Amino acid sequence: MITSFYHVHRQRLPLCFLSFLLLLLLASANSISFQKTRFEPTDTSLIYEGGAAPSVGAIELNSDAYQCQVGRATYAEKVKIWDSKTQKLSDFTTRFTSTVDIQRRLFYSSGFTFFLAPVGFQVPMNSVGGFLGLYNITTMNSTNQILHVEFDTNSDPQWDPLFEHVGININSLSSSTYTRWNVTLHTGDNADVWINYNGRFFLSGSQLAFQLLQDYVERHAILSWEFSSSLGTEETNQENARKIKLVILVVLAACVLIGAVIIAFGVWWTKKMMKGIKETINLMSINEDLERGRGLQRFSYNELASATSNFSSDTALVEGGFLSVHKGHLTHLNMSVAVTKYIWGSKLTKKEYITGMKIISRLRHRNLLQLIGWCHEEGKFLLVYEFLPNGSLDSHLFGNRTRLTCDVRYRITLGLAFALVYLHEGLEQCVVHSDVKSSNIMLDSNFNAKLCDFGLARLMNHELVPQNTGLYAAQGYMAPEYISTAEASKESDVYGFGVVALEIATGRRVLDSIEDRPEMNLVEWVWDHYRNRTLGLAVDRRLNMGFDERQMECLMIVGLWCALLTKM
C-alpha cells in the first residue's frame, strides 16, 4: 500500500490511495535508517550514474548543457523489506526536498522519479525521455518489479494524462494514480516530498534511487533525503525474543549434552581407573604370594629376552591370540624353559592372566605343567614354565610326531585323570579348568601328561553351584549344559576329559568328519560302535595290532561314560 504527498510551500496535494501485489524475491529483512541534509562527494553511501553528481551540498541530477541523458543517484545498501522466518514485511517512510527549475524555457524535459527496484537494476539502453530511464521499447510491456513515483514535467500522450502530474507507477509507464502538478507555477521552488510505503505490498530485495529523464534542459536537484524502515521495531523485537529463547534452549541443551558426556566420561574413566587399580592390587598381591616361599623365581624382562633371542620367530613355539610361547635357555640355571608372553588387546586378557596366576601360584602336582618363575615389569607380563621336549598331545595324535603306543596312551589318560582329581578334590577350593583339550596336555620326556593353560580356570567352593564363565572353551570339548548355560563346572571338565580319552583311543579329532558317517562327530561315532558292539573297529589304525583290545575298549567306554553320561 502506498500513500504519497507532494508538498509545495506547505500546500499539501493528496495523491490517491492504491493497493498492489508483487513477487517475493528475497528471504530476509533488516531495518535501515538514514538522514542526509547535505550530499558530499566523499559520501560513499550514494552511487551516482549518468549526469548525476553532488554539487554544493545537493544532488544535481543533470548538467546545464542540452543533452539527452539520464542521471541517477542510488542508495548503495540493499533495502530488504521481507523476513522469511517471521513472514513479516517492512514499512518505510522517505522524505526528500527537491527543486525543479525550467529556467524560463518553453520546452520541458521529462522530469524525475523516485523509484524502488530489485538490487542490481541497470539503466536500460535507449531509455531516455518518457521511458523514465526505467524502461525501453523492449521492456515496457514485460513483467517488471519497479515501483516509482514520477514527477512528470512533460506529458507523453501514449501513456500519460494530458497534463503535468505526480503519479504512482507500478511495473508500468502508465500511472496507477496521479494528481495534477503545475511545474510552471513552482519552478525553482523547494518542494518537500513525503512517501509512506506499506509493506503488505512490496518489492523484496530493493534499491532506492532518484532518476532524471531529460530531453530538454531543466534543472533538477535533491536538497535533502531521509529514510527509515519499521522492521526494527515490534516485529524485530519479537523475532529477537524468539532468537534469544532459541539460543537459550540451544545453550541449555548443549550444556546438558556436554554435562552428560562429561559425566559418562567420568564414570567410564572412574571404572577404568578402578579396574586398573584393582588389577594393580591383584598383581601386587600375586607378586607377594609368589615371593612367599613357593619356590618360584622372579626374572627380569631383559633376562628372558636374552634367553629367547629377544622373542624372535625362530624361538616361537606358539603364536596367536593374546599370547606367544617361546623356547628359551637360562644359562645360570642351565635349563631350557618355555616363556609365555602375554599380548594385551583381548578384553579378557588381563582378567584371565590375574585369575590364572592366582590359581597357578597355589598348584603343585606331577601332572600339572610346572611354573618356574614370572616377570611383571614395566607393563609386561611373562610366565616361565618348564620346557617339555615332546610338546603337546595333539601333535602326536594328529600330527607327524612319534606314534604313541597303547601303554603310553593309557598312561597319558591316567595322568590327565589324576590332574583333574587333584584340581577338583585335592585343594581347599575346587579348581575348574574349563578348557580341557588335547592341545592343553603337554608331554614330558617320558610321555607323562601335564595339564596346562589355566587362563580360563575358576576357583569355587566344593558345595557351590557352577559359575557363569562365558563360552570361551574350544568347540567340541564343551559339555551340552555348558553350551546352554555358559556355566563351567567339574562336570564340564569331566566331559572334556571324556572327549580327550576318545581322541587318544581313536586317533581322531573330535570335530573330524567320519568317512562313512559325515553327519556324526567323534562322540556319536564311538557311541554308535558301542551300541553295535564293534568298539574294536574304532581303535586308532596306526596302532596296527600292537594293542590290548580290552584295554582300549575300556578306555573308550570310560570316555563315553564321561561324555554321554545320560545315555550310558
The set of catalytic residues is: 435
Cell output for 291: 615371593
d(CA 20, CA 198): 10
Select from 508, 126, 452, 455 the least CA-distant residue to 321. Answer: 455
Burial call 389-420: b when 16+ CB within 10 Å, e when fewer: ebebbbbbbeeeeeebebebbbbbbebbbbbb
Burial call 168-200: b when 16+ CB within 10 Å, e when fewer: bbbbebebbbbbebebeebbeeebbbebebbbe
d(CA 434, CA 390): 24
d(CA 399, CA 381): 31
Q: Which amino acid is at 10?
A: R
Q: Which amino acid is at 165?
A: H
User: Strand 206-214 vs strand 69-75: parallel, antiparallel, or unpaired?
Assistant: antiparallel
Long-range CB contacts (< 8 A, 24+ apart) of 373-380?
373/296, 373/297, 373/298, 373/299, 374/290, 374/296, 374/298, 374/299, 375/298, 375/299, 375/300, 375/301, 375/303, 375/304, 376/283, 376/286, 376/287, 377/300, 377/301, 378/301, 380/301, 380/341
Handedness of CA 406, 412, 415, 421 (dihedral sign): negative
Cell output for 234: 515490534
User: Phi and psi for 458 in degrees, rounded to 5?
Assistant: -135, 145
Let me know the angle formed at the C-alpha of 326 by 320 and 330, rounded to the nearest 5 degrees: 160
d(CA 458, CA 358): 10
User: Phi and psi for 318 in degrees, rounded to 5?
Assistant: -140, 135
What is the residue-wise DSSP string for 133-165? TT--TTTTTS----EEEEEESS--TTTS-SS-E
Contact 338, 386 (CB under 8 A): yes
Select from 101, 124, 75 the least CA-distant residue to 189. Answer: 101
Select from 91, 75, 106 the least CA-distant residue to 29. Answer: 91
User: Strand 53-55 vs strand 46-50: parallel, antiparallel, or unpaired?
Assistant: unpaired
